[in-house]
Every structure is written in structure tokens, then in C-alpha cells.
Amino acid sequence: MFRTSHLLLKLALVALVLGALCAIYLDARITGTFNDKMWGLAAKVYARPLELFAGAEVSPADLSYELDLLGYRSVSAPRKRGEVARDGHVFEVYTRGFMFAGEQEPERQGTDRIQRRPGRQHVLGRAGGRPDAAGSGADWRHFPAERRGSRAGATGGCPRALPPGAAGGRGPQFLPPLGFSFLGIARAAFNNLRSGQVVAGGSTITQQLVKNFYLTSERTIVRKLTEVAMAVLLELHYEKDLILETYINEVYLGQEGPRAVHGFALAAQHYFGKPLDQLQVHQQALLIGMIKGPSLYNPERNPERALERRNVVLGVMAEQGLIPAEEVAAARARPLDLNTEGNIRGAVPAYLDLVRRQLRQEYREEDLTTRGLSIFTAFDPLLQRQLERSTATVLDQLDTTGKLQSASVVTRFDTGEVAALVGGRTARFAGFNRALDARRPAGSLLKSAIYLAALEQPKQYSLATVLSDTPITIRAAGAKAWQPQNFDKKAHGDVLLYQALAQSYNLASARLGMSLGINTVVDVLARLGVKDGVPRLPALMLGAGEYTPMDMALMYQTIAAGGFRMPLRSIRDIVDAEGEPLRRYPLEYDRTVNLQAVHLLHYALRAVVREGTGQGVYRYLPQDFAVAGKTGTTNDGRDSWFAGFSGDLLAVSWIGRDDNNSTGLTGGSGALKIWAQFMAGASKQSLAYRMPDGIQTHWIDDRSGYLTGEGCPNARRLPFITGSEPRQRTDCAPRGPGSGVGDWFDSLLGRN
């Protein structure tokens, strides 16, 4: 008997020591990591803000669409932030206010009246707010960790009924003194024994938090005992309000595709498309009700069951005095009010991919999922919508098999900001991002670099230099002889330099490129921003190599910006969880191309769309809306390209097939249509004409390239770098103004 008692005492002491060691381990685990887990916040990505001021160009439909994206609620008379009333072209908006990078935009109430003007619609005036009042950019995506979403903030910042509702919506036992409930566990055990299976858990909020943070979901006694012990320790270290706040930010409330929706803040955005503090009582009750079974009561899949559960929670909240009884009937009569329209969260995966790649250059993946960064981007929802519509419309017209793919990049070329991006035919599918990763030959898009290289040598070349568009054979050691051909299989004899580019003549371009030298062309491409995938081969003159739409966007942005090269960027500012700026991305640029030479190239690219291979753009654009651009087609029509710019936007579009088979399209019959349809709906500024110093205009004969007189046969006005104009002259004296082929250029000079 003594030996048995002695043995039991030893076993008890061993168990006590092991229990103490286990408790110490669990306590260290909680105190060492709970703060990090509690403050583990996902990064938020914001679109550009929509600025409303007198004279701003915006249509009522666009403004309404953007306010929907921002989660504004339509009412008859706005009385609270986040509400809007619309009467035709008049919007009364009560803005929420927003903390931008280092600047607080206060909430304010104002009226925007939109007036239709010829071709455009403008904000006529803004009452009740400063002229440059701006709304916050749409919170359109998070970078969550594997589990966690965005933080709701302190419980005081939530709707008043939400914290107690989340804690008591299923009974007061969910905040017991020790972090667990004997009664709840006993009741759950009895129910499980009676049913013969696990039907109840009896967990408190603290236990659920422990399970979510530290444990698995396996249903074992050891796991349950560990959960109870850690819940007790957690209650000893932290206040109940803090535990409840953390629970509100952590609780699982469903799925958004492959991503778990954790926390009420992220759930509010996912299900209702609005910030948590903007939820109405019936919406709060729905989220509280989903705690019991996020799948069972998912309002998107089980709306009737979710509605019934929501009404039960409303009754409990009324019984506990969380909401006035008279509000219950009105709340129960409301529909679920889910956000079913205008939601772009997660809907622009290609642009999000660009943001993530640029962030990874400076931040670890852990920073994006735990530090609560706010990332302000240049993403423009209105431009994105127009780009997606144009892509879908054109591809549906060209191809009913679904085999054609497309990618486009849109930038504001004066800043280098990427404003919209489409990475594939299905723009909302997060798959292969062709805008960034599809490396294909660029065809005639590269010809602009050849002609720019020539125009940088004004002693030898000008827009009126005569080129030979005749057959050429190029032999290189150890390689097969290269014999390029024109698209129409014809040779066109002597042509002027600008005509060769406008008509995209291969023979003239190959001859010009080889006379300049491959290294010279490669150097110009590098100065335009294209360095990777460039082969030092004669075929480079006709677009050989591997380039992405983003590569071509950088090249043509440098051209559009007058020779200033700047990095393409999606991010404007980054601030931390406390609102302190971490990093700004100011405009950076470097002049890499001669201003006068690129000005002459602009003329030739205008000629492309006025009288060359790109004339099709004016089936979509008004004749007086000036743009410049270049078509591109690769061998056998495998790739269709168009790159061009207006006065405010640059866009590059590509159409091809993933199997690299022929599309049957040229640049003009394929990608041009996407580009032109997009520009027709998105661009607000015609390409202006400003003649820089060192440029003069002269009348030339567009057949011979000689100087001639105004009004003479074939007379055309061309710009020249001073001193580079032709030396030869026709014998035709000026005859006065005529209506020749140069009228579109004369209109730019204000002479027509």
C-alpha cells in the first residue's frame, strides 16, 4: 500500500512538473507571438482618387460607377458619410473622408452638377466643398496572409452593436471569466454523446481565437485540453476588450475564391462592398449570424438560410438591448443587400500582379501580409473598364472560337504611371499575365527605333530623304541569306523616309537599318528602354526578338514623352499601419533621345494614322482628334500589334494565340481596333503640336523630296531640323495656298 501511494505521489509530481513545463511553454508561446499575430495586417491596395472640381471631365455614368465602387449608398437626401443622391446630372455626395499619404481629406458634403459640352461632359461646379475636393480611391484589393484579412480597428471604431453582438449573439457564455465555460463544454459533450457524433464544440470566443491562431481544427481531446489551457493563459495576459477586438479581426467568415475571408472588416468589403463602419444593422446582424457557420449561412450560396439566421440574430440583439425594438421590424424587412454590382476587388489580377512585382523589389512577402501597409497606386477603374470593354468587344467580333488572346498596357506617359492593364482575353482571370510575360516578336513596332536613329543624324537624313524600297539580300557568315519582303509582296521604288515608315515598307526599312548598322539600332532601342530580348541580327530591322507589351509600352512612352525615359510604375505612395509615409515614388526621368529627332518621328507616326497603315483608327476617332501610332505584324500574322498615344494617354495592344499559330490578322485589322475603340472612349485630350526650337517647316515635292513652292504639284509641308532641309529645288515657283496632301499637318500649324 505504501509503495503504491509512493508511486502515485511520484507520478503526480512528474505530472505536475510536466504540466508546469507545458504551461510555461504555452505561456511563452502566447506572450511571444500574440502581439505579432494580433497586429498581423494585410496590405491594402488603393486605386487613384477620383478628383471632382469645376471643369473636371466626367460623365454621370462614370461618376455613378465610381461611387458604386467606393460603396456609396444611394439615398434621397445624404445625411451621413458614404451616402449619395442623384437627380439626373446632379449628384449630392457626402464623402467619407480619407487619410492619404501624409494628408487628411476630411469628410464633406457637396453637390456636383455635370454639364454636357460638345463631345465631352464636365463638372460645371461644386458647391459645399473646396474646388479640389477628392474622394478616396477604391480599396480594390488586399495582400492577405494565408489566413488573415484586413483589420477592423479598435472596437470603438466598429458599429456600436457589432462587438457586443459578436460576443453575445449566441449567448453571454462567450465571454466567461476564465476564457472557457464549464457549462458550455458539458452541454456540448452531452449533445455529442446523444447524437453519436460531433455536433457542437462549446468553444468560447477566446478558445476560438486560440484555435485560429495556434492550433489545428482536428477534433481530439488533447487538442481541446490544449485549447482550454491556452485560453486561460490568454485571459490572464490580455484584457477582454483586446481579445474581442482581435477576434473581430480574425474570425473566419467565408471564402473569396482561394482566399479565406477573416475578420469583419474584410467580410464587410467582400459581402457588401463598403467599410465596416458603414454597415447598417441588418448587415451587421448577417455577419454576426455567419459566425456559427460561414458555409451554412453563406448569403451568396444560401440566401434564404442566411436571411433566416440574420433575423434570429436581430431578435437576440433586440432582447439584449443592443438595438431598439422598433428597429427590428424595419431591419427584418430589408433584403440581404449584398454587393452584386461594380465590385472590382480581386477583379484586376493582371494589374495586381504588376503591383506585387514592383513591391517585391523593396519589400518581403511577409511585409505585404503582416505590416498593414497602405499602397496607393495609379490604377484608374474607369480606364480599366473601358479597356476591358474594348478588348472583349473586338475579340468577340474577330474570333468565336476563343483561341485569340490579347494584352494591353495603358500609361499616362507624362508621369510613367500605368493606369490600366489587361493580361488576357478573360481579364478577370488570375492566370498567365501576357502583358508582363508574353514575349513575342514586335514586328514593325521596332521600325520606329530605326527611323529615330536615322533622324538623329540630320546631316544625312531627314523626313524627305529618299529611300530605296527595292529587294535586298543580306548574307552573314554561317547564316542563311536573309531576303525580306513587303507585306504586299511588291517593291515600291524610291520613297521618302516618312512615307516608308507610314506605309511600313519592309524593304526600305531593312535597307535603312543595315546602312545605319545593327549596333546603332540596338543602342537606340536601349535608350528607349528596350534592352532584353534584342538580337543582334539583320532580322531585328523587322521586329525579331522577344518583347512583352510592357516593353513596348516603355519604348513608346519614351517616344511620346519627347525623348524622356522614365520607369513605368504602378505605385505612388506607401504608408504604414499608423498612416506614416514609408516611401514615395516621385517622377524620375532622363533625356535619352534628341528632342528635335523625336519631334520629327512624331510627325511620321501621325502620318501612319492619317495616311498609312494605321488609318483605321479614324473609323473610331473624330477626324479632328489628333493621335500618333504604329502598327505591327509578325510573320504569317502570328502577332498583331498597335502602339500609339493621344495628348493624355499611351496604349499598347497585342493580339495573338498562345500556341503561336497564325491569327490571320495584321496590326491594322486586329490590335488597332482594340486601341482605337479604347481611345475613343477614354482619351480626353487630343495630341497637341508644339514645334521645338531648332525645327523649321519647308514645302517639298513628296515624290522627289526636293524643295518646292506652296501650291505646286505634290507640294507638302514638312518639318526639318534647321539646316537639314533638301538642297535640290524644283523649278516650280510658289502658287499660293492649295489643298494638297499636307492639309492635316497645316491644320496642326493653325493655317487651315
Confidence (pLDDT) at 180:
46
The C-alpha atoms of residue 620 and residue 615 are separated, in whole angstroms, by 10
Confidence (pLDDT) at 501:
98
Confidence (pLDDT) at 228:
73
Contacts of 586 (CB under 8 A, 6+ apart): none
Q: Read off the C-alpha cell for 617.
A: 483608327
Segments in the chain below pLDDT 70: 1-42, 99-104, 106-107, 109-220, 222-224, 227, 230, 233-246, 257-259, 340-347, 364-371, 477-478, 578, 737-742, 750-752
All structural domains of the chain: 51-132 (3.30.2060.10), 142-333 (1.10.3810.10), 417-682 (3.40.710.10), 695-748 (no CATH)
Distance of CA 268 to the CA centre of its chain: 22
pTM of the complete model beyond 0.75: yes
> Is residue 382 classed as helix, strand or coil in its secondary structure?
helix
Neighbour tally for 118: CB within 10 Å: 4
Q: Specify the DSSP class assigned to residue 613.
A: T
The C-alpha atoms of residue 724 and residue 460 are separated, in whole angstroms, by 8
**Closest-CA residue to 632 (of 649, 654, 650, 610):** 654
The C-alpha atoms of residue 656 and residue 428 are separated, in whole angstroms, by 19
CA 340-372-299 angle, to 5 degrees, is 25
Confidence (pLDDT) at 505:
98
Alpha-helix runs per DSSP H in 401-548:
434-437, 447-455, 497-502, 506-516, 518-528
- Give pLDDT tens digits for 150-183: 444 444 445 555 555 555 544 334 444 544 444 5
Confidence (pLDDT) at 495:
97
Confidence (pLDDT) at 531:
94
Block residue for cell numbers 546603332: 520
CA distances (Å), 149 to each of 213, 286, 570, 577, in order?
A: 13, 18, 23, 14
Neighbour tally for 748: CB within 10 Å: 18
Q: Which residues pair with 411 in a beta bridge?
A: 418, 650
CA distances (Å), 586 to each of 104, 239, 512, 543, 599, in order?
A: 20, 43, 39, 33, 26
Confidence (pLDDT) at 166:
57
